[in-house]
Amino acid sequence: MSRIVILGAGISGHTVARNLNKWLGKQHEIIVVSPNAKWNWVPSNIWVGVGQMSEEQVTFDLAQVYSKTSVRFLQAKALSINPEGNAESASPFVSVEYTHPAKAGEQENITYDFLVNATGPKLNFGDTPGLGPEHGHTVSVCTASHALEANKKLQALIDALRAGEHRTIVIGTGHGMCTCQGAAFEYIYNVDHVLREAGIRDKARIIWLSNEYELGDFGMGGVHIKRGGYITNGKTFAESLMVERGIEWITRAHVTKVEAGKIHYETLDGSFHEQEFDFSMLIPPFAGVGLKAFDKAGADISSQLFAPNGFMKVDADYTPRPYLEWSARDWPRTYQTPSYRNIFAVGIAFAPPHMISKPMQSTNGTPINPTAPRTGMPSAAMAKAVAMSIRDMIGGAEKPTHTASMAEMGAACVASTGADFFKGTAATMTVFPVVPDFEKYPDYGRDIDLTFGEIGLAGHWMKYLLHHAFIYQAKLKPGWSIIPD
Give the count of domains, the chain. 1
pLDDT higher at 274 or 455: 274
309: containing domain: 3-123+287-394
Tell me the C-alpha distance between 169 and 11, whole Å. 31
DSSP conformational letter for 100 = S
Percent of the chain with pLDDT over 90: 89
Return the pLDDT at 485. 82
> pTM for the full model?
0.96
Assigned domain for 461 exists: no
Distances (CA, A) of 178 to 218, 358, 482: 10, 14, 34
- The contacts of residue 146 (CB under 8 Å, 6+ apart) are 45, 49, 133, 139, 140
Q: What is the pLDDT, as a whole number, of residue 375?
A: 84
Residue 122: count of CB within 10 angstroms of its CB: 18
The three-state secondary structure class of 14 is: helix
Q: Tell me: the pLDDT tens digits for 183-201?
A: 999 999 999 999 999 999 9
Q: Is 475 a domain residue?
A: no
- 238 domain residue, yes or no: no
The predicted structure's pLDDT at residue 137: 98
Task: Give me the residues paired with residue 483 across strands.
Answer: none
**Residue 241 identity:** L
Q: What is the pLDDT of residues 48-66, one digit of tens each?
A: 999 999 999 999 999 999 9
Q: Is residue 83 included in any domain, yes or no? A: yes
Q: Report the pLDDT value the prediction gives residue 226, as an integer from 0 to 100.
A: 79
- Cα 407 to Cα 241: distance, rounded to the nearest angstrom: 28
Split at pLDDT 50, 70, 90, the class of 278 is very high
- 161 closest CA partner among 222, 205, 130, 126: 205
DSSP characters over 252-273: SEEEEEEETTEEEEEETTS-EE
Q: For residue 280, which of 379, 174, 365, 405 has the smallest C-alpha distance? A: 174
pLDDT of 309 strictly over 80? yes
Provide φ and ψ at 151, rounded to 5°.
-65, -35
| Under 8 Å between Cβ of 147 and 46 | yes
Q: Confirm whether 214 is domain-assigned.
A: no
CA 240 – CA 258 distance, rounded (Å): 29
Q: Is the pLDDT of residue 28 over 80?
A: yes
Contacts of 425 (CB under 8 A, 6+ apart): 416, 417, 418, 455, 456, 457, 459, 460
- Residue 452 falls within a domain, yes or no? no
Q: What is the CATH number of the domain that holds 95?
A: 3.50.50.100
Question: When comparing pLDDT for 485 and 60, which is higher?
Answer: 60
Q: Could you tell me if residue 418 is inside a domain? A: no
- The answer to the question of residue 357 being in a domain is yes
Altogether, the residues listed in the chain come to a count of 485
